Amino acid sequence: MSRTSKSIVAAAMVLIMVGALLSGCSKSVTEPGASGTPEKVTLRFIGMEQAGMTVDEQKAVAKEFEDKHPGVTVETTFVSYDALHDKLATALAGGGTAFDVLVVDNTWMAEFAAAGWLMDVTDKITPEMKQQTVDQDVTWRIVTYNGRLYGMPWMLDQKYFYYNEDMLKQAGFDAPPKTWEEMVKMARGMKQKGIVEYPIIWSWAQKEASNVDFVTLLYGFGGQLESAPGVASFNDDGAKKALQFMVDTLKEGISNPASTVSVEEDVRNTFSAGKAAFAINWLYMYDLANDPKESKVAGKVKLAMMPVSEAVLAKGIPSATSNDSMGMAVSAGSKNKELAWEFLHYFTSPEVQKRYAAHQLPIWKEAFSDPELLKAQPVTTKMFMEQFPYGHVKVHVPYYMEYSKIMQLSMQYAFSGQKTPAQSLDEAVGQVNKLAQQYKQ
Amino acid sequence: MRDSRWQEYRFAYLLIIPSLVLLSGIILYPILDNFVISLYKYDLTKPWFRPFVALGNYQDLIHNPEFWASVGRAAYFTAASVSLEVILGLAIALFLNMQFPGRGILKTLVILPWAVPTVVSAIMWKWIFDANYGALNGLLLQLGVINQYQAWLTRPITAMNLIVAADVWHQTPFVVFIFLAALTTIPDALYEAARVDGAGALRSFQRITLPLLRPAFLIVFVVRTMEAFRVFDLIYVMTGGGPANATQVVTYYTYVSTFSYLHLGDGAAQSFLVSAFILVLSVAYIKLLGSQVEY
């Protein structure tokens, strides 16, 4: 081979490689949907594989939408709650084309909206739509940031108090506890009689799940998350009593020691295996814990109002729980925003929500007077309406993920005995308020 | 003569240019981009606020106790898991290097844990350590070591050590096979000569086997330290950094800072510091173990 032909061969190879590299880059930018015929559109939906509607139910809704819209394909992706935020954040930060329709927790809405990642749908929500939902204020707060709306409320959920009726009867109790103190007494009785080793199971792992239980107990002991808008106060008297209660019941073996590494699914598994008399969980557990295929205690599972402390009950407040709801939003980077909105609209419509109400109740007021729904879900619909007025929403700030971690850790330090509950909460509130200052800069 | 040699070199370089271009596209460019990001205060929650801070993120990290605590945990994890893996790996390799029936089957069995994907092995160990239905509880209860089920992963120090155990189970086979490969290259003549000279088994191990395994030690230490210091998937699945941050190693902290808190500048700076630590460690190993042994 002559010198020049060698150079030509080499130069050609360089060109080919560079060309391949560049075309590889540009290909990832164009949408696969755009290359086909114009009518063929692919919508990508990302949802959650935990609490609420099951994956199969969500897939079924996507299928219904496909049938109604020829040419439209809906691709679904499901991840666990604890993986969802990071998956959404990376997809949205990367341009937001990876998913068109997203399930977004109420606590992430501020963060994503502030970053400009969600489609502003304020003009699409009519006053009638607002009036038709269960509670105008609480329901729409899920998707509101700075007075603008960024999606549709989708799952109105709150923590419910579950108990195993059989175990209570065996121990000689004929009604569920009204206060946390009463629950502790009943638990002691059951433990002594050997009915159950650890009477209550919670989701207190170092995850978001622990904050939900903490908020429930914090309000149950008379505390408040904020003393004024933007000023954290989860180190007030009620909060400290709540965390002390958590630590004490762990020490005494009333709360299952595995609580501190459990999330909601672990709670469901433990309770369904008959290894707990009481449990705190979302609505979805009611159907699953009463399903003989999923549970050893099917038929014995009952719901009651979330207890409060004796002191709070004496003030005339009979219950306190966490209201932790999720919305659905359209990615600002979506190539098919209108169609995506239509899908989201269909997904959250009264008609669809009523049909899939076993694990997640509708956001629509009229559904709760619909005889068919009341007949299909007699227990949960009634419990939902009773418990809903006592729900407390978490804070909505763009730096929530860091806030959340600080709160989770404040509990963990108290559980492991590295700090006292009071010290741990004081430090955490100091950190959160510093975070708020930093964000304002 | 000299001219044609140079021609050959030039042709060789031209041939490797395509792969160089590819590598710089997928390795060099992201590294440089990451470095540029690390020079900005860049929070995705505040997209309008992105000031250039030069080495400000690095300075913040140097004064960040949570970062150093997570570096310390990674160092503990690395020291514990790598030393256990080397000791166990060497012992198993020496055993498998002997001639005995069934050796082939045993070799195949030994590699099995390494063939399991890390996430799968992490889920498996999480189940084994489970407080309510874990196999470890079942075993210890039947043996009478404990009188009731224990919630193993709820105790900070225990949780870290159990993750070390899971890593040792998963990674020891790799170490075994590196050592085994090196052992088979040591000529039997050396041992025979030693025997003739009256050296015992221990002495030939000290004077022949260990020195000749030096290159294998280097590979094992460098590769395993790099991997152990960056441990992520085991932690993500088994504990999520808990309890009380006791298993939050440095890569996990970097991940949380970047993808949960969305502090990209800070996260980029962290990843650079972690790479620097690993580089220093690797250079130290090469200096310590890299010298050639000649016989």
Put simply, the answer to whether B243 touches A18 (Cβ < 8 Å) is no
Chain B residues with CB-CB distance to A197 below 8 A: 148
Residue A30 pLDDT exceeds 50: no
Cα distance between residue B255 and residue B57, in whole Å:
16
- For residues A179 and A270, is the Cβ–Cβ distance under 8 A? no
Pairing of strands A326-330, A301-304: unpaired
Domain B39-289, second-level architecture: Orthogonal Bundle (1.10)
Same-domain status, A267 and A368: no
pLDDT in the model for residue B120: 96
Same-domain status, A164 and A211: yes
- For residues A215 and A206, is the Cβ–Cβ distance under 8 A? no
What are the counts of helices (DSSP H) followed by strands (DSSP E) for chain A? 20, 15
What type of residue is A210? Answer: S
Pairing of strands A326-330, A101-105: antiparallel
- For residues A279 and A269, is the Cβ–Cβ distance under 8 A? no
Q: How crowded is residue B67: how many other Cβ atoms within 10 Å of its Cβ?
A: 21
User: Domains in chain A: how many in total?
Assistant: 2
Same-domain status, A264 and A146: no
- Mean pLDDT across the stretch A365-381? 93
- For residues A324 and A387, is the Cβ–Cβ distance under 8 A? no
> Residue for token digits 């004077």?
B207
Give first-to-last CA distance, chain B, whole Å: 37
Residue boundaries of the structural domains of chain B:
39-289
Give domain status of residue A9, yes or no.
Answer: no
Put simply, the answer to whether A405 touches B256 (Cβ < 8 Å) is yes
Chain B residues with CB-CB distance to A269 below 8 A: 132
Q: Which residues in chain B come in under a pLDDT of 70?
A: 1-2, 291-295
Cα distance between residue A398 and residue A337, in whole Å:
24
> Residue for token digits 């299952």?
A256
Same-domain status, A305 and A427: yes
- For residues A329 and A48, is the Cβ–Cβ distance under 8 A? no
Looking up residue A366, the CATH number of its domain turns out to be: 3.40.190.10
Put simply, the answer to whether B259 touches A86 (Cβ < 8 Å) is yes
User: Tens of pLDDT along A114-125?
Assistant: 899 999 999 999
pLDDT in the model for residue A27: 40
Strand, coil or helix: B276: helix
Put simply, the answer to whether B22 touches A115 (Cβ < 8 Å) is no
- For residues B128 and B135, is the Cβ–Cβ distance under 8 A? yes
Give domain status of residue A19, yes or no.
Answer: no
Q: How far is CA A325 from CA A78, A267, A408, in A?
A: 18, 19, 19
pLDDT in the model for residue B5: 82
Give domain status of residue A18, yes or no.
Answer: no
Q: What percent of chain B has pLDDT over 70?
A: 97
pLDDT in the model for residue A389: 93
For residue A93, give the nearest of A110, A115, A121, A119 by alpha carbon. A115
- Dihedral (CA of A362, A368, A373, A379) sign: positive
- Mean pLDDT across the stretch A327-354? 95
- For residues A392 and A225, is the Cβ–Cβ distance under 8 A? yes
Cβ under 8 Å to B: A residues 370-429: 398-399, 401-402, 405, 409, 412-413, 415-416, 418
- pLDDT tier at A33, thresholds 50, 70, 90: very low
Same-domain status, A135 and A169: no
Cα distance between residue B73 and residue B229, in whole Å:
9
**Facing residue for B151 by CB, picked from A18, A261, A418:** A261
Put simply, the answer to whether A6 touches B14 (Cβ < 8 Å) is yes
**Facing residue for B259 by CB, picked from A90, A205, A405:** A90
Cα distance between residue B159 and residue B145, in whole Å:
19
Chain B residues with CB-CB distance to A412 below 8 A: 242-245
H-helix segments, A148-196: 165-170, 180-192
Residues in chain B: 295
Q: Which residues contact B214 (CB under 8 A, 6 or more apart)?
A: B289, B291, B293
Cα distance between residue B294 and residue B212, in whole Å:
9
Put simply, the answer to whether B262 touches A111 (Cβ < 8 Å) is yes
Pairing of strands A101-105, A41-48: parallel
* Å between A333 CA and nearest CA of chain B: 15
Q: Which residues contact B203 (CB under 8 A, 6 or more apart)?
A: B194
Same-domain status, A274 and A376: no
Same-domain status, A271 and A417: yes
- Count of CB pairs separated by less than 8 Å, A with B: 122
| Four-point Cα dihedral A257, A260, A261, A267, nearest 10 | 80
Name the phi and psi angles at A57, rounded to 5. Answer: -65, -40
Residue A31 pLDDT exceeds 50: no
- Which two three-digit tokens encode residue A154? 């989708």
Q: Which residues contact A408 (CB under 8 A, 6 or more apart)?
A: A206, A207, A208, A210, A211
pLDDT in the model for residue A212: 97
pLDDT in the model for residue A25: 44
Same-domain status, A252 and A309: yes
The domain of A290 spans 160-323+399-440
**Facing residue for A258 by CB, picked from B19, B25, B132:** B132
Residue A34 pLDDT exceeds 80: no
What is the helix (H) or strand (E) element at residue A322, kind and residue range?
strand A321-323
- Which two three-digit tokens encode residue B75? 């160092």
Give first-to-last CA distance, chain A, whole Å: 67
Q: How crowded is residue B295: how many other Cβ atoms within 10 Å of its Cβ?
A: 8
> Residue for token digits 């359209």?
A330
Same-domain status, A233 and A294: yes
Cα distance between residue A16 and residue A11, in whole Å:
9
Put simply, the answer to whether B243 touches A17 (Cβ < 8 Å) is no
Considering only CA atoms, give the Rg of chain A: 25
**Facing residue for B7 by CB, picked from A3, A401, A415:** A3
ipTM over 0.90: no
Same-domain status, A291 and A207: yes
User: Average per-residue pLDDT in chain A?
Assistant: 91
Same-domain status, A210 and A303: yes
Name the residue with higher pLDDT: B48 or A165.
A165
Same-domain status, A103 and A148: yes
Cα distance between residue B174 and residue B134, in whole Å:
27
